[in-house]
Amino acid sequence: MSYGNVPEGFVPNGSADSFDDREFGWDDEIEKDGPDYITLPEGDYDFEVVDFERARHEGSEKLPPCNKAIVHIRIKGKDASGHEGVTIIRHQLFLHTKVEGMLCAFFTGIGQRKKGEKLKMNWAMVPGSRGRCKVGTREYNGKTYNEIKKFYEPASSQPAPQPQQAQMSFEQGKF
């Protein structure tokens, strides 16, 4: 199941954020252009996870067979020429101890986990999650694609301001 052409605002899991989702009749009128899909320059971007798939990694030289999640990450931005658009990056997360740090970084990046804490992965909460990541590019068959290089830990919230110690003075008859 691929959502390579996910329109802005559409969440494939059918959440309330999806647009007027219906079948067209053969003679219906259409008008809504889809977003322009772009290749982003390398850099740091805010993202939203729009969907994920459960899949199986069949094994490779570096990693034995294991479960994997393919998260569909939507990023809005500008390409190298300044043209605004959207990209959907399909990022694979392998469920194996050899790459546990990458799973931890993802769940920390979407705010489900704090660095150093143990976490039971809650995949139902992944779609709709937001965070910040480093995007890179890679070449494949002569075409340039975006890829996630790193998920950033959310900026820690500022500690609540400490109340200043009130100066206590005593005046007779006042409370």
Please give the average per-residue pLDDT across 131-142, as a whole number. 94
Q: What is the pLDDT of residues 89-107, one digit of tens each?
A: 999 999 999 999 999 999 9
pLDDT exceeding 70 applies to what percent of the chain? Answer: 74
Instruction: Give me the mean pLDDT over the 122-147 stretch.
Output: 94
DSSP-assigned beta bridge partners for residue 68: 55, 94
What the block records as the tokens of 105 is 């970084």
Structure tokens at 131: 């965070």
Q: Tokens 């109340």 label which residue?
A: 163
Distance, in Å, from the CA atom of 17 to the CA atom of 20, rounded to the nearest integer, reads 10
4-43 as b/e, with b when 16 or more CB fall inside 10 Å? eebeeebbbeeeeeeeeeeeeeeeeeeeeeebeebebeee
pTM value is 0.69
Query: 153 pLDDT exceeds 50?
Result: yes
Q: Count CA within 13 A, CB hemisphere, residue 174.
A: 4
Tally of CB atoms within 10 A around 90: 17
* Cβ(49)–Cβ(128) below 8 Å: yes
Which pLDDT value is given to residue 35?
Answer: 64
Bridge partners, 144 (sequence order): 139
